[in-house]
Amino acid sequence: MDIKKRSDCPISSSLDIWGDKWSLLIVRDLMFSKQCTYGDFLKSDEKIATNILASRLQMLETNGVITKQDHPDSKAKVLYKLTQKGIDLLPLMIEINLWADKYFTLPQERKAVIAEIEKDKEAFIKKQIVDFLDDDIPVSPIIK
Amino acid sequence: MDIKKRSDCPISSSLDIWGDKWSLLIVRDLMFSKQCTYGDFLKSDEKIATNILASRLQMLETNGVITKQDHPDSKAKVLYKLTQKGIDLLPLMIEINLWADKYFTLPQERKAVIAEIEKDKEAFIKKQIVDFLDDDIPVSPIIK
DNA sequence: TATTTGTACTTGCAAAACGCAAGCAAATTT
DNA sequence: AAATTTGCTTGCGTTTTGCAAGTACAAATA
């Protein structure tokens, strides 16, 4: 779980944290759902293995991208949320979506979001960020 | 080298292609240098192993992100370049840089580029894209 | 022309990471 | 009290990585 910086390059340093096949999917789930339990992540379509999930959550927490907190309803549950550092990955996630929109066939429900982004990227980002700052929003279902 | 799509999610599909610790560093080198030989990639600070480099170049070529072409000066050399699909990763790379700028200490020479991006992101992207369309530009040195 | 060097890889192998299934402890539900 | 849920951990076989060495061909050098 230690960070091995391969170089001083910002791209390289970023990849050292979330440059694997799973980390950004965890971030994605949190962007759509605002907060997730361990089990929520396991329900995602990609079917991450539980040990890999545990190690990625640890990595992302260690590097300040996500935080763990007590679930208000139960001591058995844990809530994972994005930190500001994690929320700041939103523009990056948007660009991935736009790139994918150009080169893949996207699921229909995702196309609507893309259309909104393409209409006014800055407005979309601002709206999303405001959503994150409000802490008492209901947990929306995960869309992948 | 086969593509195993884990789900229909655009983020996931994108990560299936370049979501590892090395692919975007290859793309980075090509963004800065416009064209690289096999040896150029090996010279980068992160010191990628030759077998990993070969497999990533193959993967990126198979998936249409880069292309191989003959070197005009020598049959022994091979030139790698970004395709349009690869060039379209520029906005993504920019966002990675901006995120890293906020959360890492960047090398001085990279800060200048970031400053230019932050002044006018759209203008920067357009300028870069124009650079790529012009095919007879000199090869600039790699900055990491 | 023979030999050395450069370039783009491939191969072998040990170490690390991954992926799957099972296990486990604490909390919660029945 | 027993069964289930939740968030992990553990074992273990498979895959990927990383390092060093090797190879084939082109090009430069002697």
State phi, psi for B2 to the nearest 5 degrees: -75, 150
**Alpha-carbon Rg of chain A, whole angstroms?**
15
Residue B138 lies in a domain: no
Q: Which nucleotides of D are covered by protein (CB under 7 A)?
A: 5-11, 17-22, 25-28
* CB of B79 less than 8 A from some CB of A: no
Tens digit of pLDDT for each residue in B34-91? 999 999 999 999 999 999 999 999 999 999 999 999 999 999 999 999 999 999 999 9
Query: Using CA atoms, how far apart are residues A70 and B130, in angstroms rounded to an integer?
Result: 51
Tell me which residue in A46, A95, A103 faces B95 most closely, judged by beta carbons: A95
Residue B15 lies in a domain: yes
Query: Using CA atoms, how far apart are residues B28 and A11, in angstroms rounded to an integer?
Result: 8
Distance, in angstroms, between A106 CA and closest chain B CA?
6
* CB of B7 less than 8 A from some CB of A: yes
Tell me which residue in A8, A47, A100 faces B14 most closely, judged by beta carbons: A100
Residue B79 · residue B68 · CB < 8 Å: yes
State how many domains chain B has: 1
* CB of A125 less than 8 A from some CB of B: no
Cβ contact (<8 Å) for A19 and B24? yes
Distance, in angstroms, between B72 CA and closest chain A CA?
30
Residue B117 lies in a domain: yes
Residue A83 lies in a domain: yes
Q: In the prediction, which pLDDT does B113 show?
A: 93
Which CATH number does the domain housing residue B36 bear? Answer: 1.10.10.10
Q: In the prediction, which pLDDT does A142 show?
A: 40
Closest CA to B32 of B103, B85, B78, B86: B86
Residue B59 lies in a domain: yes
Sign of the torsion formed by the C-alpha atoms of B133, B134, B135 and B137: negative
SS3 helix, strand, coil % of chain B, rounded to 5? 55, 10, 35
Per-residue pLDDT of chain A (144 residues; tens, 9 = 90+): 668 899 999 999 999 999 999 999 999 999 999 999 999 999 999 999 999 999 999 999 999 999 999 999 999 999 999 999 999 999 999 999 999 999 999 989 899 999 999 999 999 999 999 888 766 544 444 444
CB atoms inside a 10 Å sphere around CB A80: 22
Please, which residues have CB within 8 angstroms of residue B137's CB and are 6 or more apart in sequence?
B34, B131
Q: In the prediction, which pLDDT does A134 show?
A: 64
* Domain range enclosing A23: 10-133
Residue B141 lies in a domain: no
* CB of B102 less than 8 A from some CB of A: yes
Cβ contact (<8 Å) for B20 and A24? no
pLDDT band at B3 (very low <50, low <70, confident <90, very high): confident
Containing A11, the helix (H) or strand (E) segment is helix A10-18
DSSP secondary structure string for all residues of A80-120: EEE-HHHHTTHHHHHHHHHHHHHHSPPPHHHHHHHHHHHH-
Residue B5 lies in a domain: no
State phi, psi for A5 to the nearest 5 degrees: -75, 120
Quick check: helix, strand or coil at residue A142? coil
Quick check: helix, strand or coil at residue A50? helix
Closest CA to B65 of B48, B37, B84: B84
Residue B11 · residue A97 · CB < 8 Å: yes
- Largest interatomic CA distance in chain B: 44
Task: Check whether residue B80 has its CB closer than 7 Å to nucleic acid strand D.
Answer: no
| Tokens 């091995």 belong to residue | A4
Amino acid letter at B22? W
Amino acid letter at B139? V
Distances (CA, A) of A77 to A29, A70, B5, B6: 17, 7, 31, 27
